[in-house]
Chain A
Amino acid sequence: MIEQVLANGLIVGTIYALTALGFTIIYRTVRFFHFAHGVVYACGAYFAYSVLRIAYSGGGPPLHEATADLRYATTWVVAIFAGVIGAGVLGVVIDRLVYKPLRKRKAPNLVFLLASFGVFIFIQNLLQLIFGAQILTIRAGPVKEGHHFLGAVITDVQILILVVSSLLSVALWVFMQKAKLGKAMRAVADDRLAASVVGINPERIILAAFAIGSALAGAAGILISLETNIEPTMGMNAILKGIIASIIGGIGSIPGAMFGGLFLGIAENLGIWKISAGWKDCIAFVILIAFLLLRPGGIMGIKTEKEQL
């Protein structure tokens, strides 16, 4: 049984990690809690859904019965790209329309946080208006028993989630370490003033951070919607867990966000197993408080800075 519980924790943990990664990338460059990240995650799923909806409306099987038919392979690829890129663009638009004017006015962090909440609620209600409050589904095949693997049962979609999330995390880490843009992003994260002295344009870096971070959120949203469903309110839980994961991992750290997500997912599921499901969210917050009190730098031991909220 422990194998299955760990597998369950790992699957949900990689989704937490992916959300936390996007959140962290943005946080380390702009230094405020981009709460609307959660709704960007939901939009990623809705963008992909819209493409599939339009593609399947001209005949073909109903969306929820759509099988992994090769004829539809291109549609799926287009839908996934639309979701990921759409989410990235949305993140950039939020930054340009809302955060950039605030940055110009040198608004305090609290204002950014409130603005972010506002954007979250606005877009969530917009989703509800356009798509309705009901849940929508995208399926890559009929429901069937998963594969037995090391004492646990794992479905195709869950394997996809594990593989894609791991690949994205590693790719992001390599990008931040090796690519010129990644290095510049780290430089801005370390010291915005010094970075601009050596000729790095901080606005460009912020743009890149929102694009990449939001695209990751979109990817997470699509992956989770293949596994469960899409609904307008899905962003709230995602961002809460994403923030907790990035704090316990060490806020601003990329490996930290990954470990934090996995740690949180596994801890929650061990809690459901040993205590009760009613304590799931409670466990998440107890872990958060424990980390804040005992190890504020998180798993990666990131030094806290005075700018933090």
Chain B
Amino acid sequence: MKRLRYVTIGSVVIAIVLSFLTAALLGCSRKTPEAKEIKIGAVLPLTGEIAEYGKRCKAGIDIAIDELNKGGGIKGQALKILYEDSRGNPQEGVNALQKLIKVDGVRVVVGAVASSVTLAMEPIATKNKVILFSPASSSPKLTGISKYFFRTWPSDVLEARALANCVYSELGLKNVGTLYVNNDYGLGLNDEFTKRFNELSGRVSVVETYEQGATDFRTQITKIKAKDPNAIYLAGYHREMAVATKQIRELGIDAQILGDADYGVQELLEIAGVAAEGAIYSIPEYEPANGSVVMKQFAEVFRAKYGSSPSIFEANAYDAVKILAQAIAGVGLDPERISTYISSLKNYAGASGDISFGIKGEVTKPVSIKTVKNGKFIPFPVGSPNSVNR
């Protein structure tokens, strides 16, 4: 009996030891392919008020990752994208970035979309020497902020200056009122527009703001109406601009409506309807139909996959990943060397157009002026060539 007990105990001990050994071995063998993966983080607003843009960027990123992996990844290593949700909130964006750096150990991150979120995330990325690459943040405050920060969306400076030039010189309007969203994005656009418009000896006679997500602008518009400007510049996101456009017309104001890059979104027309007719806005140029082979190709792949045409968001996000992948393929996963690589990149043929990184690592791209006519977005002045570099 006693021997039987020893045998039982003995076999149990052996079984335990064996299972540990197997588990350890299995663990090792499972780890091997993981080490061959290159992880890229992405912090995007996948839910919340600006989820629309997060989803657009994600669509572009997914195509880029698919393409890269089908082509054998980077030197045989597959790319893996880790999405985190910022909900368009700076605090959430910082948390997401911390998680990606500390838990997942990523060295390059795509994001964020809203300038306010990117501005909050940048110090964390820089402190940890992690590359942060935004596909959509346009605040002038981000220019030259860190050697670890890059973007494919140009600064608002270009866009707002182009619009101010057009309003003063081509439209001949000298008195403008502005209504902007009270965050880094709106403030940046408003400041740059006002600065340029004053330089041209135009006058910004009234400045009003609203909070992101607002749906009632009537009292601000009433205040603008009292100053009787020739044009009203709406600097913000398309949802708010759409409702503001509608309310401006409903309150019987016939001033020229001006918008920013986000004015050129189909959803805006659905909300504002005929009220948006004749509105003028400036946008980083994106016309895949008249563009390079890469631009056309991306638009085709996108249409085949999602059944709709891509916007500049998808193209910019796609380019961000492709540029990062090219840098990693060239110099490896060292953020220091990736930074040097990207900042010297010139005339990169991207899905969003030709991309160059100039002074302070800032991206430069052409800007075009467009207008709404018969429910379509067309170049302004009507009949002009697409690309107008102002």
Contact B252 A276 (CB under 8 A): no
Contact A133 B249 (CB under 8 A): no
Contact B52 A143 (CB under 8 A): no
Interface string of B17-54 (1 = CB under 8 A from A): 00000000000000000000000000000011101100
CA of A65 to CA of B216 in the docked complex: distance in angstroms? 21
Question: Chain A CB within 10 Å — which of B211, B216, B243, B249 has the most?
Answer: B216
- Taking the complex as formed, is B239 at the interface, i.e. its CB lies under 8 A from any CB of chain A? yes
Contact A146 B182 (CB under 8 A): no
Contact A276 B209 (CB under 8 A): yes
Contact A273 B223 (CB under 8 A): yes
Of A134-142, A211-219, A244-252, A254-262, which binds chain B?
Answer: A134-142
- Taking the complex as formed, is B67 at the interface, i.e. its CB lies under 8 A from any CB of chain A? no
CA of A143 to CA of B246 in the docked complex: distance in angstroms? 7
The closest CB in chain B to the CB of A12 belongs to B216
The closest CB in chain A to the CB of B53 belongs to A133
Contact B208 A144 (CB under 8 A): no
Of A1-9, A92-100, A202-210, which binds chain B?
Answer: A1-9
- Taking the complex as formed, is B226 at the interface, i.e. its CB lies under 8 A from any CB of chain A? yes
Give the residue of B182, B216, B246 whose beta carbon is less than 8 angstroms from that of A8.
B216
Contact A228 B48 (CB under 8 A): no
Contact A146 B52 (CB under 8 A): no
Contact B47 A153 (CB under 8 A): no
- Taking the complex as formed, is B210 at the interface, i.e. its CB lies under 8 A from any CB of chain A? yes
The range of chain B's interface size is 35 or more
CA of A8 to CA of B217 in the docked complex: distance in angstroms? 9
Give the residue of A9, A144, A229, A278 whose beta carbon is less than 8 angstroms from that of B243.
A229
Give the residue of B182, B216, B223 whose beta carbon is less than 8 angstroms from that of A228.
B216
Interface string of A121-160 (1 = CB under 8 A from B): 0000100100001110101001111101000010100000
**Please, which residues of chain A bring their CB within 8 A of the CB of B216?**
8, 12, 228
Give the residue of A5, A62, A133, A137 whose beta carbon is less than 8 angstroms from that of B47.
A133
CA of A59 to CA of B198 in the docked complex: distance in angstroms? 51
- Taking the complex as formed, is B104 at the interface, i.e. its CB lies under 8 A from any CB of chain A? no
Contact A137 B55 (CB under 8 A): no
The closest CB in chain A to the CB of B249 belongs to A143
A233 to chain B, nearest CB (A): 6
B327 to chain A, nearest CB (A): 32
Give the residue of B55, B222, B243 whose beta carbon is less than 8 angstroms from that of A4.
B222
**Please, which residues of chain A bring their CB within 8 A of the CB of B199?**
none
- Taking the complex as formed, is B145 at the interface, i.e. its CB lies under 8 A from any CB of chain A? no
**Please, which residues of chain A bring their CB within 8 A of the CB of B275?**
143
CA of A280 to CA of B267 in the docked complex: distance in angstroms? 27
CA of A229 to CA of B238 in the docked complex: distance in angstroms? 12
Give the residue of A142, A148, A272 whose beta carbon is less than 8 angstroms from that of B220.
A272
A278 to chain B, nearest CB (A): 5
Contact A277 B220 (CB under 8 A): yes
Q: Given A133-B55, A137-B270, A143-B272 in contact, is the A277-B243 Cβ separation under 8 Å?
A: no
B374 to chain A, nearest CB (A): 13
**Please, which residues of chain B bring their CB within 8 A of the CB of A196?**
none
Question: Chain A CB within 10 Å — which of B48, B211, B219, B223 has the most?
Answer: B219
**Please, which residues of chain B bring their CB within 8 A of the CB of A12?**
216
Contact A280 B273 (CB under 8 A): no
CB-CB contacts below 8 Å: B259-275 with A: 267, 270-275
**Please, which residues of chain B bring their CB within 8 A of the CB of A14?**
none
CA of A85 to CA of B104 in the docked complex: distance in angstroms? 48
**Please, which residues of chain A bring their CB within 8 A of the CB of B389?**
none
The range of chain A's interface size is 35 or more
- Taking the complex as formed, is B250 at the interface, i.e. its CB lies under 8 A from any CB of chain A? yes
**Please, which residues of chain B bring their CB within 8 A of the CB of A139?**
273
Q: Given A143-B246, A144-B249, A276-B209 in contact, is the A228-B215 Cβ separation under 8 Å?
A: yes
**Please, which residues of chain A bring their CB within 8 A of the CB of B251?**
4, 145-146, 153
CA of A303 to CA of B243 in the docked complex: distance in angstroms? 41
Give the residue of A1, A137, A229, A281 whose beta carbon is less than 8 angstroms from that of B226.
A1
A139 to chain B, nearest CB (A): 7
- Taking the complex as formed, is B218 at the interface, i.e. its CB lies under 8 A from any CB of chain A? yes
Interface string of A76-100 (1 = CB under 8 A from B): 0000000000000000000000000
**Please, which residues of chain B bring their CB within 8 A of the CB of A277?**
182, 208-211, 214, 219-220
Give the residue of A4, A142, A278 whose beta carbon is less than 8 angstroms from that of B182.
A278
Contact A134 B267 (CB under 8 A): yes
**Please, which residues of chain B bring their CB within 8 A of the CB of A29?**
none
CA of A185 to CA of B379 in the docked complex: distance in angstroms? 62
CB-CB contacts below 8 Å: B212-239 with A: 213-216, 218-220, 222-223, 226, 239
Interface string of A1-36 (1 = CB under 8 A from B): 100110011011000000000000000000000000
A240 to chain B, nearest CB (A): 12
B224 to chain A, nearest CB (A): 11
**Please, which residues of chain B bring their CB within 8 A of the CB of A133?**
47-48, 51-52, 55
A192 to chain B, nearest CB (A): 38
CA of A269 to CA of B275 in the docked complex: distance in angstroms? 24
Interface string of A147-176 (1 = CB under 8 A from B): 010000101000000000000000000000
CA of A65 to CA of B275 in the docked complex: distance in angstroms? 12
CA of A133 to CA of B46 in the docked complex: distance in angstroms? 9
Question: Chain A CB within 10 Å — which of B222, B243, B275 has the most?
Answer: B222
- Taking the complex as formed, is A103 at the interface, i.e. its CB lies under 8 A from any CB of chain B? no
Contact B273 A142 (CB under 8 A): yes
The closest CB in chain A to the CB of B216 belongs to A12
The closest CB in chain A to the CB of B270 belongs to A64
CA of A135 to CA of B218 in the docked complex: distance in angstroms? 20
B179 to chain A, nearest CB (A): 9
A-B contact pairs, 9 of them (CB 8 A): A12-B216, A62-B270, A143-B275, A153-B251, A231-B239, A233-B49, A237-B213, A276-B208, A277-B220
20 extra A-B contacts, CB within 8 A, seeds A4-B218, A273-B222, A273-B223: A1-B223, A1-B226, A4-B222, A8-B222, A9-B219, A12-B216, A133-B47, A133-B48, A139-B273, A143-B250, A143-B272, A143-B274, A145-B252, A146-B252, A153-B251, A233-B49, A269-B219, A277-B211, A278-B211, A280-B214
Chain B interface (Cβ < 8 Å from any Cβ of A):
47-49, 51-52, 55, 182, 208-211, 213-216, 218-220, 222-223, 226, 239, 243, 246, 249-252, 267, 270-275
Cβ-closest 5 pairs across A and B: A133-B51, A228-B215, A143-B275, A8-B218, A272-B219
